[in-house]
Amino acid sequence: MGAKNRQRRAAKARKRARQRTAGDGGSWRQEGNRATEGAPGASGIGRARIRQLFDAAAGRSSGEFAAELAAADPALVDPEAEGAMLRLVGLLWRHGWQPAELVRHARRFNARTGRLVATAVAADHVHRDRATLHPRWVDQIDALELPAVGGAVGWLASYARSERIDRVSLTLDVLTAIALLADTRPLHVTIPPPGAPNGPPTATQSRIDDPILVKVRALLAQAESTPFEAEAEAFTAKAQELMARHSLDAALLWAASTRDERPTTIRIPIDDPYADITSMLLHTVARHSRCRAIYDDAYGLSTVIGFASDVATAELMFTSLLVQSQAAMRAAGARAGPGGRARSRGFRSSFLMAFTQRIGQRLAEINADVERDVQRDDEGSRTLLPVLASRAEAIQDVVDELFGELRTRRVRGVTDAAGWSSGTMAADLAKLNAGDVGRRGASAPTLAAG
């Protein structure tokens, strides 16, 4: 990309960032407050005061209103509390959050808040027509195994009974959940929320019927299940070769078409421990799958941007490699025994960093081989590089639009030479050599952060 193009992109990104900052200066909280105005049952002094307290609770996390609310009539308090939570949940749906993400976010705060928010999500969903929801939305609701609720009202009493808590504890739980939901900033919409048109198929839907990806999934399943690291490497390499070829075929087909397909986005949760290094693994896999991965460390979420088939393959490969790396790390710990060095945090972080770096090298080698094969054909030679550049530019436009200017952050984790060596073995046993043991001074990679 030329210097003028970079300057133009940077200027556009700065403008969008300023617009977002100006537009977000209170609009998020104001929209949440506007949603409470004029709601049914707002008349009456007792109810009005209760409504006022819940509105105030959305602006802070303290329990200073708990005593007054706990002493009030539950018949007045509970409907207002349920309504306040459901309004915030609905608001978060419209601002990009998805059921699995919101429940996970609450659980990361604490387990009980997670259970209360899960109950609110169940109450929000109970009267929705599944046929009107996006398939991925339905999949997430089903996977969450939400608490059973009888309807959109009366569910707080069910929650209190299941938790075996009194009115004061219930009130504190509600105030905590309301403050958390109100303080949760918007995300980018990646799948249509309830009430929105479902739109075109997503990357996750596209991968279901794709015969190449069916083969890839089978190879990765074999890689995950074999106890032999060299065999796992062979299965994984074959899967990546298939995916790389599939990606180039899709790019050439896109070039020969009307080019109406645009990049898509998904979000992938990145959990502790070692979330930074895990996000680096996703960043590495996405880059070699011709996608971009942007990590939001506040919420532990990575957004992957790319063309549908590439996004699907990046998600598949990342998930498989994560399983393989965790299995190899557990095996190293089991061999070491209780209290062994291989169970230390330094060993494991170094293991995962080495695994990530070596996987990046392997993916680059495989992609280069496949690209050379494609370019041996005259048509491929003339078309491939300009097409890949066009698709990369389209992806960059989406990144600029969604995130504006990004910052990079150094990921540190190489403190144990034995961990580095063991991680390299797990990534590529066949190419291990004695020099790997002394590679603790390798430079730490960086990743983009939103």
Taking residues 68-90, report their average pLDDT: 92
Better-predicted residue by pLDDT, 13 or 243: 243
Query: Dihedral sign, CA of 309, 310, 313, 315?
Result: negative
Contact 101, 180 (CB under 8 A): no
Query: Across all residues in the chain, what is the average pLDDT?
Result: 78
Per DSSP, 153 falls in state S
User: What span, in angstroms and rounded, lies between the C-alpha atoms of 139 and 208?
Assistant: 14
Mean pLDDT is lowest, of 45-49, 185-189, 218-222, 279-283, for 45-49
The pTM is what? 0.77
pLDDT at 234 over 70: yes
pLDDT tens digits along 325-340: 888 887 777 766 555 5
Mean pLDDT is lowest, of 98-112, 168-182, 281-295, 405-419, for 405-419
- pLDDT computed for residue 227 by the predictor: 77
- pLDDT computed for residue 211 by the predictor: 77
Query: Percent of the chain having pLDDT more than 90?
Result: 40
pLDDT tens digits along 86-101: 999 999 999 999 999 9
- pLDDT computed for residue 236 by the predictor: 79
Taking residues 183-202, report their average pLDDT: 82
Instruction: Assign residue 179 a region (left: φ > 0; alpha: ψ between -120 and 50; beta: otherwise).
Output: alpha
pLDDT at 39 over 60: no
pLDDT at 446 over 70: no
- pLDDT computed for residue 347 by the predictor: 82
- pLDDT computed for residue 448 by the predictor: 52
- pLDDT computed for residue 164 by the predictor: 96
- pLDDT computed for residue 437 by the predictor: 29
CA distances from 79 to 54, 147, 352, 364 (A): 11, 19, 49, 57
pLDDT tens digits along 172-186: 999 999 999 999 999
User: What span, in angstroms and rounded, lies between the C-alpha atoms of 235 and 278?
Assistant: 21
Contact 272, 348 (CB under 8 A): no
pLDDT classification of 212: cutoffs 50, 70, 90? confident
pLDDT at 209 over 50: yes
pLDDT at 314 over 80: yes
